Each structure stands twice: as C-alpha cells, then as structure tokens.
C-alpha cells in the first residue's frame, strides 16, 4: 500500500467521516467517467472546426461546440467547487498530506490545472460569441482571411480539453489509488 502510512487510522473510526468519504469517493469516480466522455466529445468537435469548408458549416459546427462547451464548463465549475468543498475536505480529514510533499504538490498542481482549463473555456466562450456574431452578420464570404481566423476560434477549448485529459489522468494515478487504499482500510478496520 503506497499511501497507507499517510492515513489517520483514528479518523477512520468516525462513522460520519467514513460515510462522507465513501460517498465522495464514489461520486468522484462516477464524475470522472462522465466528464471524460464529455471532454473527448468536445475535443473531437474542436478539432473539426478547423476543417470547416463553408461559412454555414463553420457556423453550425461552432454553435454545436459552443453549446456543448458551455454545458461542460458549467459542469466542471460545479465539479471543481464540489471537489474543493467536499471531496478534498473529506480526504484531508483522513490523510496526513503534510507527511508527503510530493502528494501535497500534486494536489496543488491538480487544483491549478482546473483553474487554467476553466480560463481556457472562458476564453473560448468569449471568442465563440464574437465569431458567431460575425458569422451571422453575413460579412464572411468576402473576407477569406477573417474566415481562416474564425476557424481558429476553437483553439482555447482544444487546449482546455488537453489540460483536463492530463488532469484526470493525474487524478486517476494519484488520488484514486489513495481513495481506494482508504476504502480498503475502512473495510479491513
């Protein structure tokens, strides 16, 4: 057990902490599965924007991407707040993070990654509003350079998805094994 030495075994005896942690650990895993599917979908859509062959196709693709990105942005914002408020609070009540600087810095990096990804989503949402306004204005057929720039509108959301994929990979190699160890210790205790 890689992290067992960090677990506060006295805290494992508290039924309310155990219940809260079991619920939080299950929710984290369920949310990861859901979010990964959404991120993969948005990532694929964002890559296709650059190959849009007509202004109508670009407008249609960008509208779809924007709607899905906005829904994911809202879900990620709620997820980040929940993680901070409940999951990590529950985890910190059971684990001595100060005894493992590498794990402590990994957690800080995870939180920072989420903030950066959300900033990229905000940038995309702002740019996509402006791009869709231009596309709906009908000024595009006469301006090829503008059309090519508009096809780059999805770059921030593409970057956000890449960051989130790494973020979830890191959580699944660092946090999930830790939660699994705590859950096994709860069953054994």
pLDDT of residue 4: 63
Give the tokens for residue 8: 């506060």
Q: Which of 77, 88, 97 is nearest to 164 (CA)?
A: 77
Q: Which of 146, 164, 136, 157 is nearest to 66 (CA)?
A: 157
pTM over 0.75: yes
Q: Which of 18, 49, 16, 76 is nearest to 135 (CA)?
A: 49
Q: Which of 6-15, 94-103, 166-175, 180-189 has the highest mean pLDDT?
A: 166-175
Average pLDDT over residues 177-185: 84
Query: Distance between CA 60 and CA 85 in Å, rounded?
Result: 38
Angle in degrees, CA 25, 29, 31, rounded to 5 = 115
Q: Is pLDDT above 90 for 74?
A: yes
With H, G, I as helix, E, B as strand and everything else as coil, classify residue 95. Answer: strand
Concatenate the DSSP letters of all residues of 20-35 into one string: HHHHHHHHHHHHHHHH
> What are the pLDDT digits (tens) for 29-68?
899 889 999 999 999 999 999 888 888 888 999 999 999 9
Q: Collect all residues with Cβ–Cβ distance below 8 Å to 151 and sequence separation of at least 6.
A: 49, 50, 52, 58
Angle of helix 155-188 relative to helix 101-137, nearest 10 degrees, comes to 150
> What are the pLDDT digits (tens) for 117-148?
999 999 999 999 999 998 888 766 567 777 78
Per-residue buried b or exposed e for 112-127, using 16+ beta carbons within 10 Å of the residue's own CB: ebbeebbebbebbeeb
Per the document, the length of the chain is 189
Q: Which of 13-17, 100-104, 156-160 has the highest mean pLDDT?
A: 156-160
> What are the pLDDT digits (tens) for 83-111?
888 888 888 877 777 677 777 787 778 88
pLDDT of residue 175: 85
């Amino acid at each position: 057990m890689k992290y067992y030495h960090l677990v506060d075994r006295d805290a494992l005896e508290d039924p309310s902490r155990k219940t809260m942690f079991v619920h939080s650990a299950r929710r984290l895993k369920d949310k990861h599965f859901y979010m990964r599917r959404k991120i993969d979908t948005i990532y694929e859509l964002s890559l296709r924007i650059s190959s849009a062959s007509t202004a109508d196709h670009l407008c249609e693709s960008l509208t779809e991407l924007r709607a899905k990105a906005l829904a994911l942005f809202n879900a990620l914002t709620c997820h980040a707040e929940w993680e901070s408020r409940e999951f990590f609070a529950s985890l910190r009540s059971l684990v001595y993070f100060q005894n493992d600087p590498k794990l402590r810095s990994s957690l800080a990096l995870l939180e920072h990654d989420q903030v950066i990804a959300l900033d990229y989503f905000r940038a995309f949402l702002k740019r996509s509003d402006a791009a869709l306004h231009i596309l709906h204005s009908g000024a595009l057929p006469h301006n090829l350079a503008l059309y090519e720039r508009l096809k780059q509108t999805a770059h921030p959301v593409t970057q956000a998805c890449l960051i989130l994929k790494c973020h979830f990979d890191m959580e699944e190699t660092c946090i999930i094994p830790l939660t699994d160890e705590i859950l096994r210790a709860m069953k054994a205790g």
